[in-house]
A and B are shown apart, each in its own frame.
Chain A
C-alpha cells in the first residue's frame, strides 16, 4: 500500500494552510500574481495555446477542454465579454471549491485575470452559493486587496488592460450550478436552464460572449502560465492532465479535501487517504461525483482516476466527490435520499425530470416496502432511460445515474425485495 505522501500531489493546494489566506502580501511572497505579469507579456493566442497544450479539462463536472472554451470566447463577436466563476458547488458531497476559496482566494482571482486578458473580457463575476458565507467574505477581502494593490481595476500594473470582479451570492438552488441556470440567476431571474446552442461562449451573460468555469479550473490557470502547458500535461496520465481535488466524505476515518494526480486508484483515495471505514465496518458502496454520480461496489475501486479509464467502465467522477457508505446502511434508503434531493431541486421546466424523479421515488418506495414486482424493475429502467435521453438539462439527465448503476452492480438488492408471489 502506498503512503499518503506517495498518493498526494500538492499543486493547486500548495499554498493552502501555508499562507494566511487573507494576506495578499503572503500570496505574492509565495509566488502569487507572477503568472499575471508573465501573461501580460504574452499574446492572448499564446496563452490560450498554452492552456490547450496543457490538456486542462473543466473541473466543474462535464470535463470540457478549457483551452477550446477560451478560444471560442476570444473569437466570439460582441462586447463586452464576461468571465464567470462557477462557485455554486451544490452537488452533495462536494466541498473542494469552498476549500480553495477560503484557503487561497487570490489564486482564483489570478486565474480569472489571466483568462479575462486572454479572451478580452472586462468584467467578471464569482457566483458563490448563498450558503457559503465564509467563502464570500474571503473573496470580497481578496478583491478589495487586489484592487488596492493594482491587480484589479483600471490599467492593471500599467498593462493597459482593465478588469473588475464582483462577488454574487446565490440564493439556494442546486440547478443554478448549471451554466445557463446560473446566468439566468445572475440576471436576477429564477434559475432555469436555457436552450443550447447558442452556448454561453457566444451568447451568455446579458447575451454576450461569456467564459464560465469552475473555481478549481481557474485556480489551475496560473500554474499553467507559469510552468507552461507541456509541463502541466506531463502530470497525471496520458489521457488526463494535472491533479484533481477530491472531496472525501461518508464512512471513512479521514474525510477531507485531498489533491491527487490523475492516475492514482480510487482505492488509494478511499483506503490510502481515507483509511477505510471506521469502527471495523466494511465498505458497502461508494458514490462518485455526488448525488448525480454512479454508485459502485468496493470491488471496482481498483479503477484509476482517469477520464478514459472511468469512461471505459461507463462511469465518471464529476466534480471529484467520493462518498463512502458502509454496510450498516441499506441501498434503498440511500437511493431514497438521493431521489428526494432531485425531487426538491428539479426546476420543473421539463416533464421528464419534473415527473420522472417523483415516479422513481414512488417505485423505490415499493421496493422499500417489499411490494415491488418484476414489472417495477422494467418501469424503473425505462423511466431512467427516458430521463437520460430527454431531460432538458444535465440535472434530469444525470438524476437517474445512482439508480441505473445500482441496477447494474447491485441487482440482487432489487430482486431480493420483490413481493413474495402467492
Chain B
C-alpha cells in the first residue's frame, strides 16, 4: 500500500506530517487528501484529525478538495502581471473551457492562481504538475496543454 511506504520513508513523527501529505497527494490522481485519507493518517501517525487538518488547510500546495490530475497554476503577482499574466489566464480559460478555480469535466486539469513562482525573469509563468513554464504566449500555452492532454 502506497501510504504505508511513504510513511516508512519519512517516519512516524509529527514532524514528518507535511512531507507525508505532499508525497501522498502527489501519487493520487485526484490530487487531494480526502476525509478517509485523514482518518487513516490520524490512526497511522497517532495524531488527531484536527491536527492534520490544521496543516492541510494552511498550505496552498495541499488540498482538501478533489482536483484535476494536473493542477495548472498561473502566477498572478506584479512581475508576471506587467508581462501579461491576465492574458495567460484568458487563454487558459479558453483552451481548457473552465474558469479559475474549476476542474475540467474529464478530471484532467484544475486551473488556479498562485503567488510568484520564482520565474519572474521568464514572465509570464505558470506551473503544471510540478513543472515550471515561462515566457508564455498563446502558441506555447497551446503546445504545453496539448502535451499534457496526450498523457
- Cβ < 8 Å to A, chain B residues 73-108: 76-79, 81-83
Residues of A in contact (CB 8 Å), total 52
Bound Cα distance from A188 to B47, whole angstroms: 12
- Cβ < 8 Å to B, chain A residues 129-152: 129-134
Whether A249 touches B79, Cβ cut-off 8 Å, given contacts A171-B61, A185-B18, is yes
B88 to chain A, nearest CB (A): 14
Determine the chain B residues whose CB is within 8 A of the CB of A333 once the complex forms.
Answer: 81
Q: Are B118 and A131 in contact (CB under 8 A)?
A: yes
1/0 per residue, CB under 8 A from A, across B125-138: the answer is 00100111000000
Whether A188 touches B15, Cβ cut-off 8 Å, given contacts A95-B118, A255-B121, is yes
Bound Cα distance from A187 to B123, whole angstroms: 34
Asked whether any CB of chain B lies closer than 8 Å to the CB of A408, the reply is no
Q: Are A329 and B13 in contact (CB under 8 A)?
A: no
Tally of contacts, chain A with chain B, CB under 8 A: 131
1/0 per residue, CB under 8 A from B, across A321-341: the answer is 101011001000110011011
1/0 per residue, CB under 8 A from A, across B1-42: the answer is 000000000000111111101100000000000000000000
A373 to chain B, nearest CB (A): 27
Q: Are B115 and A255 in contact (CB under 8 A)?
A: no
**Which residue in A173, A187, A321 is a CB contact (below 8 Å) of B58?**
A173
Bound Cα distance from A333 to B77, whole angstroms: 11
Q: Are B60 and A169 in contact (CB under 8 A)?
A: no
B58 and chain A: residue at smallest CB distance: A190
B129 and chain A: residue at smallest CB distance: A133
Asked whether any CB of chain A lies closer than 8 Å to the CB of B151, the reply is no
Bound Cα distance from A323 to B18, whole angstroms: 33
**Which residue in B58, B59, B114, B120 is a CB contact (below 8 Å) of A249?**
B120
1/0 per residue, CB under 8 A from B, across A104-129: the answer is 00000000000000000000000001
Bound Cα distance from A37 to B112, whole angstroms: 48
Determine the chain B residues whose CB is within 8 A of the CB of A347 once the complex forms.
Answer: 58
B47 and chain A: residue at smallest CB distance: A188
Determine the chain A residues whose CB is within 8 A of the CB of B18 once the complex forms.
Answer: 169, 171, 185, 188
Bound Cα distance from A344 to B113, whole angstroms: 11
- Cβ < 8 Å to B, chain A residues 328-362: 329, 333-334, 337-338, 340-341, 344-345, 347
Main secondary structure of the interface of B (DSSP, over half): mixed
**Which residue in A93, A98, A187, A189 is a CB contact (below 8 Å) of B77?**
A93
1/0 per residue, CB under 8 A from A, across B39-55: the answer is 00000000000000011
Q: Are A93 and B61 in contact (CB under 8 A)?
A: no
1/0 per residue, CB under 8 A from B, across A177-210: the answer is 0000000011111110000000000000000000
Asked whether any CB of chain B lies closer than 8 Å to the CB of A411, the reply is no
Asked whether any CB of chain B lies closer than 8 Å to the CB of A251, the reply is yes
Asked whether any CB of chain A lies closer than 8 Å to the CB of B116, the reply is yes
Q: Are B118 and A169 in contact (CB under 8 A)?
A: no
Determine the chain B residues whose CB is within 8 A of the CB of A133 once the complex forms.
Answer: 130-132
Asked whether any CB of chain A lies closer than 8 Å to the CB of B117, the reply is yes
Asked whether any CB of chain A lies closer than 8 Å to the CB of B141, the reply is no
Bound Cα distance from A191 to B58, whole angstroms: 8
Bound Cα distance from A345 to B58, whole angstroms: 10
**Which residue in B19, B22, B54, B130 is a CB contact (below 8 Å) of A190?**
B54
Number of contact residues on B: which range applies? Answer: 35 or more
Determine the chain B residues whose CB is within 8 A of the CB of A247 once the complex forms.
Answer: 120-121
Determine the chain B residues whose CB is within 8 A of the CB of A329 once the complex forms.
Answer: 81-82
Q: Are B19 and A93 in contact (CB under 8 A)?
A: no
Q: Are B22 and A130 in contact (CB under 8 A)?
A: yes
**Which residue in B115, B122, B127 is a CB contact (below 8 Å) of A174?**
B115
1/0 per residue, CB under 8 A from B, across A221-257: the answer is 0000000000000000000000000011111000111
Asked whether any CB of chain A lies closer than 8 Å to the CB of B119, the reply is yes
Q: Are B120 and A93 in contact (CB under 8 A)?
A: yes
**Which residue in A173, A190, A321, A340 is a CB contact (below 8 Å) of B60?**
A173
Bound Cα distance from A347 to B120, whole angstroms: 24
Whether A257 touches B78, Cβ cut-off 8 Å, given contacts A169-B22, A171-B61, A191-B58, is no
Asked whether any CB of chain B lies closer than 8 Å to the CB of A90, the reply is yes
Bound Cα distance from A287 to B82, whole angstroms: 12
Extra A-B contacts (9), CB below 8 Å, given A174-B115, A191-B59, A334-B78 = A92-B120, A94-B120, A130-B61, A131-B61, A131-B127, A170-B61, A251-B82, A325-B82, A329-B81
Residues in chain A within 8 A of chain B (CB atoms): 89-95, 98, 129-134, 168-174, 185-191, 247-251, 255-257, 287, 291, 321, 323, 325-326, 329, 333-334, 337-338, 340-341, 344-345, 347
16 examples of A-B residue contacts, CB within 8 angstroms: A92-B115, A92-B120, A93-B78, A93-B79, A170-B61, A171-B59, A172-B61, A174-B115, A188-B18, A190-B55, A191-B58, A250-B78, A256-B121, A326-B82, A329-B81, A334-B81
The 6 A-B pairs of least Cβ separation, nearest first, read: A172-B60, A172-B61, A171-B59, A92-B116, A92-B77, A249-B120
